């Protein structure tokens, strides 16, 4: 079984798939509240309104998974983007691909780095690594078929994380 190299998560590396949710992704930086706060404005493209969709806030609690990991399946949400923000101070694994027949990309996200998957992007279920982990999730609610699952053309193994 081939091994997937895990990359560090940066906005540039992730740009073909969506956005990294972090202050660095702000479209504007604004002083607010009489100078007591700074607003890093508009960090990700929330694309949730097709076919009568509406934005949702939810919470994911994910059990940790140990390496080596075998990845066999991805999913996509054809009607909406999906954003995750970690609430637990542990890195987590993000796996995405434009095409389940090709080599996926795996990224190690750090605490205080969220990700927003573009609408329709194939992705593996979020992988918590070191402890039970909580995530705030912003995605699409509403009627309509919004989840496809498919097997990867071959299984991939994750054995190591970037140093």
**Which positions lie near a second copy, rule CB under 8 A?**
21-23, 26, 32-34, 36-44, 46, 48-49, 54-63, 65, 83, 85, 87, 112, 114, 116, 125-126, 128, 134, 136-138, 141
- CB of 78 vs a second copy, minimal distance in Å: 17
Tell me the closest approach of the beta carbon of residue 154 to a second copy, in angstroms: 19
CB of 43 to a second copy, least distance (A): 5
- Are the C-beta atoms of residues 108 and 67 closer than 8 Å to each other? no
Count CB neighbours of 115 within 10 A: 26
Q: CB 104 → a second copy: shortest distance, Å?
A: 16
Alpha-carbon gap, residue 78 to 144, rounded angstroms: 10
* DSSP sequence for 25-58: G-SEEEEEGGGTEEEEE--S-----GGG-EEEEE
Closer CB to a second copy, 108 or 129, in the complex: 129
Q: Which is nearer to a second copy, 43 or 163 (CB)?
A: 43
Q: Tokens representing 74?
A: 């991805």
Question: The tokens of 160 are what?
Answer: 């190591």
The reply to whether omega before 68 is within 30° of 0 (cis) is yes
Nearer to a second copy, 95 or 163 (CB): 95
Note whether 77 and 119 are within 8 A (CB). yes
Task: Give the C-alpha separation, 98 to 90, whole Å.
Answer: 27
**Minimal distance in Å, beta carbon 107 to a second copy?**
18
Nearer to a second copy, 13 or 32 (CB): 32
**123/163 with CB nearer a second copy:** 123
């Amino acid at each position: 079984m081939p091994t997937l190299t895990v990359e560090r998560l940066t906005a540039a590396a992730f740009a073909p798939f969506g956005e990294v949710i972090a202050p660095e992704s702000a479209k504007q930086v604004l002083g607010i509240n009489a100078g007591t706060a700074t607003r890093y404005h508009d960090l990700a493209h929330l694309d949730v309104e097709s076919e009568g969709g509406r934005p949702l806030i939810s919470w994911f609690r994910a059990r940790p998974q140990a390496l080596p990991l075998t990845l066999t399946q991805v999913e996509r949400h054809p009607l909406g983007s999906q954003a995750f923000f970690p609430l637990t101070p542990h890195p987590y694994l993000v796996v995405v691909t434009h095409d389940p027949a090709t080599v996926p990309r795996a990224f190690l996200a750090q605490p205080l780095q969220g990700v927003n998957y573009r609408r329709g992007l194939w992705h593996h279920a979020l992988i918590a690594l070191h402890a039970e982990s909580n995530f705030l999730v912003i995605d699409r609610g509403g009627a309509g078929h919004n989840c496809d699952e498919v097997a990867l053309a071959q299984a991939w193994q994750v054995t190591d994380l970037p140093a």
